[in-house]
Amino acid sequence: MSTENAGKPDLPLERFSYDDAIVRKFVFATLIWGFVGMLVGVLIALQLAWPKANDFGLDAAWTQILAFGRLRPLHTNAVIFAFAGNAIFAAVYYSSQRLLKARMFSDLLSRLHFWGWQLIIVLAAVTLPLGITTGKEYAELEWPIDILIALVWIVFGINFFGTLVKRREKHIYVAIWFYIATWVAITVLHVFNSLEVPATLTRSYSLYAGAQDAFMQWWYGHNAVAFFLTTPFLGLMYYFLPKAANRPVFSYRLSIIHFWSLVFIYIWAGPHHLHYLAVPEWLSTLGMLFSLMLWMPSWGGMLNGLLTLRGAWDKVAKDPILKFFVVGVTFYGMSTFEGPMLSVKAVNALSHYTDWTIAHVHGGALGWVGFMCFGMAYWLLPRLFQTGEMAKPKWLDLHFYLATLGILVYIVSIYAAGLTQGLMWRAFDDTGLLKYTDFMDTVRILRWFYVIRLAGGLLYLTGAGLALVNAVLTWKKRPAAYEVPVYEAPPLSALEAAAPAPVAEKALRPFFWAGLALAGVCAAVALIPGVTDSPKVGAFLALVGGFGLATAAIDLFMKVGWHRRLEGRPLAFTGWVAASVVSASLFEAIPTFVIESNVPTISAVKPYTPLELAGRDIYLAEGCYNCHSQLVRPIRAETERYGPYSKAGEFVYDHPFQWGSRRIGPDLARVGTKTLTPGWHLRHLRNPLDTSPDSLMPRYKHLLEAPLDFAGIPKRMRAMQILGVPYDDTAVAGGAEAARAQAEELAARLEQETGVAGLADKKVTALIAYLLRLGTDAMPKEAGR
Amino acid sequence: MSESRQDQLTDHSYDGIQEYDNPLPGWWKLLFWGTFGFSVLYWTWFHIWPGQSIIATWEAQVEEARSQGYARFGELKDDAETLVRLMNDPEAVAIGQALFQSKGCVACHGPEGGGVVNLGANFTDDYAINFQTIDQIPNIIRTGVPGTAMVSQTALLAPAEVYFVAAYVASLRGKTVANAKERDPRAKPIEPWPTF
C-alpha cells in the first residue's frame, strides 16, 4: 500500500486499485496489429519493386484482393488505427489511472472499448481488400464502420471523462491535457469528414464534392496526424519518458505554451496538402503559414522530451527503453521540421505527388510513433506481467539497432526516389520541351530505390517480430495470479476543501494588452463597410488579428497561476480545447463553403452518365487513387505533360474528390482528352505491360470477367441526386437502361478494335467509359478523336 | 548529477513525476515569434502585392518558354504550310530525326526511315498507305493506325514534337537509303509535296 498524503494526515482516505488487465490487452493488440500492418507494408513495398507480387500469377479472384490499390489502404489503416490506436489506448488506460489516482470509470466500458475497436479493425481488414471503400485517404472505411467507430469512440470518451470526474488528484498533468485534445479533436474530425450519403450498405458518397471535399479531407487527414499520431504520443511521452528516466520534466511553462499553441495552430495547417491544386489560393497560403508557425510548438515537445534527459545520458547509453524514446523524440523533431519545410509552396511544388511525402510520413510513423510504441511496450510488459524484466532482455538492443537501421535505409532510399522523380518530371531540355516525355522514364529509374526501401522495411518488420515474440515469452512467465496493489488517497472533494487559497497572480504584461489592441484594431477596420469585400484584405485582417489574439492568449497562458486553476477544472479545460479546435476549423471552412467565387462554375461541366458513374465506383473500389492523381497543377512542367491545369469548377460532381496524393503512375485528370483509344485502355487494363513496358501497375484482367451491377445504378444515382447532382427522376429510373445502351456501344467499339467480344455487361467497360470522360468537359478533345 | 542553477522544481507531483519551472529557451521564443512575423510579410507579398498569384506566375513561365523554345519555329498547326516550312528547316529536321531515333520509331521504320518488311512503312519512296497529303502525317502519329502495330505515340511525344517527327518523315521522301522496303501493294502514289 502506498499513500501520497504527507502533510495532510487528517484527510479521509479511499482505497482503490488499477485495472491493468485492460492495458495488457491493448499492449498485445498493439504488437500484433503492428506486425500485421507492417507486414502488409512490406508486401506493398515488394509490389512496387516487383510488380508480379500484385497477383503472384494467381487467378482473378485473388488478384483483385492482392493488388496494390486494395492493400495500400489496408496498410495505412492498420498502422494508424490498429497499431498506433491500440498503443494510444494502452498508454491512456495505464497512465490516466495513475495520474488521476482512480480506476477507470467503468470496467465494462473498458472492455466494450477494447473489443469494439478490435471488431472495427477486423472489419477494416475484411472490407478494404474486398474493395469496400469510400475512396478518401485515411478515411476509407464505409459508413456502417464509420458509425461503429463513432460509437466506440464515445464509449472511450465516457470512460475517460468519467475517470477525470472521479479522480483523486486536484490538477491534471500535461499527459492528460494531450489525451483530452486527442479525444475532442478526433471526434470533430471523424464526424465531419465522414458525413456521407449511403447508396447501399457498402457504398456511400461524401457529402462534399471536389474542392470542398478536398478541403475537408485534408483538414481531416492532416489533423489525424496531429491528433492521432502526435498529441496522444506526446501525452505518452510525458508519462513514460520521465518515468523511465526517473527525471523531472524539463519545463512546465514549455508544456503549457507548446500544448496550447499546438492545439490552436495545428488545425489550420491541413490545406498545405492542397498547394497548387484547385482550391482558393488564400486557403493554401493559410495552410502553409500555420504550418511554419507550428515548427516551434512542435519542437517545444521535442525539447521537453530531450531536455528531461539532461543529466541522465549515462542511463540512456545503458537502457534500451530510453534509447527507443530518444530516437523516437529525435525523429519527432526531424519530422516536425521537415513538415513545415514541405509546406512551403516552392518546396511543395517539387515534393508533392512524389515519394518524398512517403519518406516524410515514414520518418514520423516508423521513427516517432513506432519507437514510442515499442519503448512504451518494453517498459510496460514486465510491469503488467509482473516478471521484473522482459523474457529476452538482450533482444531489446537488437530490436533497437534493427529498427534504427531499417528506418534509415527506408527513408534515405525513398527520399532519393522522390527527389529523382520530382526533378525528372520538371526537367526541360534546351528547346524548352520536357526532357522525359515518357512518364515511364521516371518510373524505371525508381526500381532500385524501391528494392532498397523494401530491405529497410524488412529490417524494421524483423524488429517488430522480435518485440511480439519477446512479449509472448514474457507473458508465458507471468505469475499464476497477478498481484493487485491497493492504493489509498483522499477523495477530490476533501482535497478541494483542504486546498490553500490561490496564489496571487502576476500582473498582466504589456504583450497581453498590445496583442489585444492589435486584434481590436483589425476587428474595427473589418467593420468599416466595404473593407472585407475583398477576400484578400479580409484574410489579411484575420491573419494580423489572429496574430494579436494569439499574442494576448499566449501571454495570458503564461501567467502560470491562471493556467494552474484551469488544470484543476478538467471540463472547463476540455471546453477551451474544443473552442480552439472548432473555431479554427470554422475560420477556414466557412469561407470555403460560403464564398461562391472560391469554386467558379463551368457551364460545360455536366454530371457523369450512369455508366460513367458506375465506372467511377470501380475506380474507387480498385483504389486507383492510391497511384494516380486527377489534378493538373498550374506548373509549366505539368501543363506541358498533361494538358490545361485543373479548375475547381470541373469537380463539382465529384463525390468524393479523387485528386490523389501520389503519382506512382501518371496523372489522369485529362486522360479522356488524350488520343488513347478505348481499345488501348482495354489492353492496358488487361495487362499494362502490353502497352507500357516496365509498368508497375497490377493487371486488372478480372474486370473483363466481373459482371457490372446495372440494377444497382439507379440507387447510386439516387444518392447522388440527394447530394445535389442534377439527375432528374426520369434519368434515375432509366439509369440501368441508359448505362446498358452506352455499354453496348462502347463494347462494340472495343470488339472492333481488339477483337475481344462480350464486354457489354462487364465492369471494364464502365471503367473505360469513365476514363474516356475524364477531363473532357472543360476542354475540347485533341484532334483525331 | 549536476543541476543547472535555473532548475527550480514546481510543487507538482503526479505518480512520482515532477516538473521544473524552467523558462523557455530564448532561441525558441525568437523563432516562434519570427514565424508569425514572417507569415505577415509572406501574406503581404503574395496576396496583397499584385502579380504574385500562382496562375500569374504560370502564365509568365509559359510565355517565357514560348519565346525561347520552339516558338522560333512559328505557330505549329496541322496544315501543309507548317509541315513544309519545318521540312525545309535543317534545324527542325534534325530535331525530328533525333526524336525519330530516340522514341523507338526506328524499330518498325528502319534506322533511316526505309521501312521494315512486315512492319513499318518506307518513307523514302513516292507511295503511302495511310496518307495522301503532308498535313495528314501529324495526326497518324497521334492516333496510330487501328489494326496495326502503329499505335498512338502521344505518350512518347509532346504535342509540339509530333510536328518535328512529321517534318522529318516528310523530308525522307526521295532519299536513297540502304535496305529500303519494296513498294507495298496497298500503297498508292502520292502527289509531290506542295511548295510555298
Instruction: Kindly list the residues from chain B whose CB atom is less than 8 angstroms away from the CB atom of residue A674.
Output: 152, 154-155
> Does residue A98 share a domain with residue A75?
yes
> Does residue A594 share a domain with residue A693?
no
Task: Pick B28's closest partner by Cβ from A296, A311, A783.
Answer: A296
ipTM of this predicted structure: 0.86
State which residue of chain A sits closest to B149, comparing Cα positions: A691
Highest mean pLDDT among A375-379, A440-444, A551-555, B33-37: A375-379
Segment A399-422 mean pLDDT: 97
In sequence order, the β-bridge partners of residue B13 are B18
Task: Pick A289's closest partner by Cβ from B31, B39, B53.
Answer: B39
Residue A269 pLDDT > 80: yes
Point out the domain boundary residue: A598, A623, A646: A598
Q: What is the CATH number of the domain that holds A758?
A: 1.10.760.10
Instruction: Give me the domain span that covers residue A735.
Output: 610-773
Indicate the pLDDT class of residue A503, thresholds 50, 70 and 90. Answer: low
Mutation choice for A interface testing from B31, B35, B95, B142 by most A CBs within 10 A = B35
CA dist A190 and A185 (Å) reads 8
Instruction: Kindly list the residues from chain B whose CB atom is less than 8 angstroms away from the CB atom of residue A242.
Output: 17-18
Indicate the pLDDT class of residue A8, thresholds 50, 70 and 90. Answer: low
Segment A122-150 mean pLDDT: 96
Distance to chain B for A690, nearest Cα, Å: 12
Are residues B62 and A639, on separate chains, in Cβ contact within 8 Å? yes
Of A159-173, A195-209, A498-512, B121-135, the least confident: A498-512
Residue A70 pLDDT > 70: yes
> Does residue A139 share a domain with residue A54?
yes
Residue B56 pLDDT > 70: yes
Of A267-276, B69-78, B124-133, the least confident: B69-78
Residue A140 pLDDT > 80: yes
> Does residue A318 share a domain with residue A194?
yes
Mutation choice for A interface testing from B6, B19, B86 by most A CBs within 10 A = B19
Residue A449 pLDDT > 60: yes
The closest alpha carbon to A545, from A519, A584, A525, A511, belongs to A519
Residue A117 counted as domain residue:
yes
CA dist A570 and A177 (Å) reads 8
Residue A169 counted as domain residue:
yes
State which residue of chain A sits closest to B64, comparing Cα positions: A432
Residue B2: exposed, middle, or buried by beta-carbon count in 10 A (0-12, 13-18, 19+)? exposed
> Does residue A401 share a domain with residue A285?
yes
Query: In the numeric block, which cell numbers belong to residue A56?
Result: 503472384
Indicate the pLDDT class of residue B196, thresholds 50, 70 and 90. Answer: confident
CA dist A719 and A206 (Å) reads 10
Query: Coil, strand or helix: which one is A105?
Result: coil
Residue A743 counted as domain residue:
yes
Backbone angles phi, psi at A371, to 5 degrees: -65, -35
Task: Pick A251's closest partner by Cβ from B20, B40, B158.
Answer: B20
Cα R_g (chain B), whole angstroms: 33
As a whole-number percent, the residues of chain A with pLDDT over 70 amount to 96
| Global confidence as pTM | 0.86
Segment A480-488 mean pLDDT: 95
> Does residue A141 share a domain with residue A83?
yes
Of A31-35, A246-250, A468-472, B6-10, the least confident: B6-10
> Residue A559 has what pLDDT?
67
> Does residue A590 share a domain with residue A443?
no
Are residues B17 and A428, on separate chains, in Cβ contact within 8 Å? no
Distance to chain B for A677, nearest Cα, Å: 8
Residue A345 counted as domain residue:
yes
With vertex at residue A747, the alpha carbon angle to CA A744 and CA A748, rounded to the nearest 5 degrees, is: 85
Query: Coil, strand or helix: which one is A247?
Result: coil
Indicate the pLDDT class of residue B124, thresholds 50, 70 and 90. Answer: very high
Residue B1 pLDDT > 70: no
CA dist A216 and A205 (Å) reads 14
pLDDT tens-digit readout, A211-229? 999 999 999 999 999 999 9
State which residue of chain B sits closest to A102, comparing Cα positions: B15
pLDDT tens-digit readout, A351-363? 999 999 999 999 9
Q: What is the CATH number of the domain that holds A405?
A: 1.20.210.10
CB contacts under 8 A, B 57-86 vs A, are 58, 61-62, 65-66, 68-71, 78
Segment A744-764 mean pLDDT: 95
Task: Tell me which CATH homologous superfamily contains domain B74-189.
Answer: Cytochrome c-like domain (1.10.760.10)
Residue A519 counted as domain residue:
yes
Task: Pick A299's closest partner by Cβ from B19, B28, B54.
Answer: B28
Instruction: Kindly list the residues from chain B whose CB atom is less than 8 angstroms away from the CB atom of residue A20.
Output: none
State which residue of chain B sits closest to A640, comparing Cα positions: B158
As a whole-number percent, the residues of chain A with pLDDT over 90 amount to 80
Indicate the pLDDT class of residue A783, thresholds 50, 70 and 90. Answer: very low
Residue A10 counted as domain residue:
no
The closest alpha carbon to A294, from A262, A270, A319, A326, belongs to A262
pLDDT tens-digit readout, A562-613? 888 899 999 999 999 999 899 888 888 888 887 777 778 888 899 999 999 9
Are residues A675 and B1, on separate chains, in Cβ contact within 8 Å? no
Contact A251, A307 (CB under 8 A): yes
Contact A671, A739 (CB under 8 A): no
Segment B106-120 mean pLDDT: 87
> Residue B110 has what pLDDT?
87
Instruction: Kindly list the residues from chain A whose CB atom is less than 8 angstroms away from the CB atom of residue B15.
Output: 95, 98-99, 101, 239, 243
CA dist A624 and A133 (Å) reads 12
Indicate the pLDDT class of residue A176, thresholds 50, 70 and 90. Answer: very high
pLDDT tens-digit readout, A681-729? 999 999 999 988 899 999 999 999 999 999 999 999 999 999 999 999 9
Instruction: Kindly list the residues from chain B whose CB atom is less than 8 angstroms away from the CB atom of residue A637.
Output: none
Residue A103 counted as domain residue:
yes
Are residues B139 and A432, on separate chains, in Cβ contact within 8 Å? no
Three-state secondary structure of A193-260 = HCCEEEEECCEEEECCCHHHHHHHHHHHHHHHHHHHCCHHHHHHHHHHHHHHHCCCECEHHHHHHHHH
Are residues A248 and B19, on separate chains, in Cβ contact within 8 Å? yes
CA distance from start to end of chain A: 83
State which residue of chain B sits closest to A176, comparing Cα positions: B14
Instruction: Kindly list the residues from chain B whose CB atom is less than 8 angstroms away from the CB atom of residue A634.
Output: 54-55, 58
User: Touching check for B51 and chain A: CB below 8 Å?
Assistant: no
> Does residue A576 share a domain with residue A697?
no
In sequence order, the β-bridge partners of residue B17 are B14
> Does residue A266 share a domain with residue A410?
yes
- Say if strands A2-3 and A14-16 run parallel, antiparallel, or are unpaired: unpaired
Average pLDDT, chain B: 87
DSSP state of A198: E
Segment A466-481 mean pLDDT: 97
Point out the domain boundary residue: A577, A598, A619: A598
> Residue A11 has what pLDDT?
86
- Residues listed for chain B: 196
Instruction: Kindly list the residues from chain A whose CB atom is less than 8 angstroms away from the CB atom of residue B95.
Output: 431
Residue A235: exposed, middle, or buried by beta-carbon count in 10 A (0-12, 13-18, 19+)? buried
State which residue of chain A sits closest to B29, comparing Cα positions: A296
Are residues A95 and B54, on separate chains, in Cβ contact within 8 Å? no
CA dist A671 and A660 (Å) reads 15
Contact A93, A110 (CB under 8 A): yes
> Does residue A205 share a domain with residue A59?
yes
Task: Pick B38's closest partner by Cβ from A281, A292, A636.
Answer: A292
Residue A785 counted as domain residue:
no
Segment B91-116 mean pLDDT: 88
- Residues listed for chain A: 785
Backbone angles phi, psi at A288, to 5 degrees: -65, -50
Of A42-51, A299-308, A502-511, A555-564, the least confident: A502-511
CA dist A473 and A83 (Å) reads 20
Of A76-85, A388-397, A448-457, B103-112, the least confident: B103-112
Question: Which residue type sits at B33?
Answer: W
In sequence order, the β-bridge partners of residue A353 are A662
Indicate the number of domains in chain A: 3
Backbone angles phi, psi at A57, to 5 degrees: 70, 10
User: Touching check for B39 and chain A: CB below 8 Å?
Assistant: yes
The distance of Cα A731 from the centroid of its chain, to the nearest Å, equals 38
Backbone angles phi, psi at A200, to 5 degrees: -140, -175
> Does residue A371 share a domain with residue A227?
yes
Domain boundaries defined on chain B: 9-52, 74-189
Of A6-10, A101-105, A340-344, A422-426, the least confident: A6-10
CB atoms within 10 A of CB A496: 11
If you count residue pairs, one on A and one on B, with CB atoms under 8 Å apart, how many are there?
Answer: 184
Q: Is the peptide bond before A656 cis (omega within 30 degrees of 0)?
A: yes
The distance of Cα A531 from the centroid of its chain, to the nearest Å, equals 38
Indicate the pLDDT class of residue A558, thresholds 50, 70 and 90. Answer: low
CB contacts under 8 A, B 116-175 vs A, are 139, 142-144, 146-147, 151-152, 154-161
CA dist B92 and A713 (Å) reads 52
Residue A201 pLDDT > 50: yes
Instruction: Kindly list the residues from chain A whose CB atom is less than 8 angstroms away from the CB atom of residue B69.
Output: 428, 431-433
> Does residue A653 share a domain with residue A592?
no
> Residue A1 has what pLDDT?
43
The closest alpha carbon to A231, from A372, A124, A121, belongs to A372
CA dist A40 and A504 (Å) reads 57
Indicate the pLDDT class of residue A125, thresholds 50, 70 and 90. Answer: very high
pLDDT tens-digit readout, A645-669? 999 999 999 999 999 999 999 999 9
Segment A629-639 mean pLDDT: 95
Point out the domain boundary residue: A598, A625, A647: A598
> Residue A349 has what pLDDT?
96
Are residues B152 and A434, on separate chains, in Cβ contact within 8 Å? no
> Residue A37 has what pLDDT?
97
Task: Pick A292's closest partner by Cβ from B21, B39, B144.
Answer: B39
